[in-house]
Amino acid sequence: MATFFGEVVVAPSRAGVDDEEEAREETPEDREIRRELEKKRQIDILWTLKSGATTESCADEPFACSKFIVAIGRNAAAFLSSFILDSVCWEVVGVVKLWNEWCRTSSTTNVLPTDSFCLFYRLISDPTVLVCQCSCYVAEDQQFQWLEKVFGCMRKEDLQVTILSTCPVADYKTQESTLTLPSPFLKALKTKEFKEQVCCPLLEQPNIVRDLPAA
């Protein structure tokens, strides 16, 4: 149960688990399969931040980042492409490699794989401004990895993060009829650290944000 509005909670579920399956001990073969799956589901991020060299980690000092804009989902990524990334002002500096039920990019090796759906761009005129275009599915057990590896490469001081995501109007909870609502429309959530003016009305209770945007 959430203790405040905006808290991320995960509801427990016993769906599909019976007493016999729960009581069955894990065999060595099961453990090996689980380890291989966990290894396969590891997320790797390739960066080309310095002199065109590709690296899979941030072994050096974290780089400075003043603004980080993340577009999650196909609609948000398409919006980013149409209104922000449609110029030569940006350069690709990173890509995410991951594997899960709905995404297959882990076998690629180049920094610009043709089948990747999660790219990082840097503003050429101001290298501290980064944009992430993430239209691939990041599974629940991979979301912490994604956050840890992406933000682990950035300095946290004076970093402003903006998340863009979409959801169906049918999921929007309101006393009005959703038929009379303009579509699309924009709502916002913000942390207490954000002191600037919000560009649109705040999201009303009991609406929530899910998955990677919530994480």
Q: What is the pTM of this model?
A: 0.74
- Report if residue 79 sits inside a domain: yes
Mean pLDDT for the chain overall: 81
pLDDT computed for residue 112 by the predictor: 45
DSSP structure class, residue 144? H
Task: Tell me how many domains the chain contains.
Answer: 1
Residue 175, in any domain of the structure: no
pLDDT of the residue at 121: 94
Q: What is the pLDDT of residue 16?
A: 55
Q: What is the pLDDT of residue 57?
A: 55
Per-residue model confidence (pLDDT) at position 13? 60
Between CA 68 and CA 150 the distance in angstroms is 11
Q: Is residue 66 part of a domain?
A: yes
> pLDDT per residue over 86-126, tens digit each?
877 999 998 888 888 777 665 544 444 444 578 999 999 99
Strands 129-134 and 67-72 come out as parallel
Strand order in the sheet with 118-123: 44-47, 90-97, 118-123, 129-134, 67-72, 160-164
Task: Please indicate whether residue 186 or residue 23 has the higher confidence score (pLDDT).
Answer: 186
pLDDT of residue 162: 94
* Inside any domain, residue 193: no
Distance CA(7)–CA(5), nearest Å, equals 6
Hey, which residues does 69 pair with through a beta bridge? 131, 162
pLDDT at 146 over 70: yes
Question: What distance in Å separates the CA atoms of residue 193 and residue 65, rounded to the nearest whole number?
Answer: 17
Query: What is the C-alpha to C-alpha distance for residues 2 and 192, in angstroms, rounded to an integer?
Result: 18
Q: How many CA atoms lie within 13 A of 143 on its CB side?
A: 12
Residue 96, in any domain of the structure: yes
**pLDDT per residue over 52-77, tens digit each?**
555 565 656 788 899 999 999 989 99
The span from the CA of 212 to the CA of 215, in Å, is 5
The pLDDT of residue 113 is: 42
- Output the CA angle 70-75-109, nearest 5 degrees: 60
Asked whether residue 28 is assigned to any structural domain, the reply reads no
Residue 137 CA to residue 91 CA, distance in Å, equals 23
Beta bridge partners of 124: none
Residue 157 in domain: yes
pLDDT tens-digit profile of 12-33? 665 555 555 555 677 887 877 7
Residue 72 lies in a domain: yes
Residue percentage of the chain with pLDDT more than 90 = 28
Contact predicate 45/95, CB 8 Å? yes
Residue 129 domain boundaries: 42-47+60-103+112-164
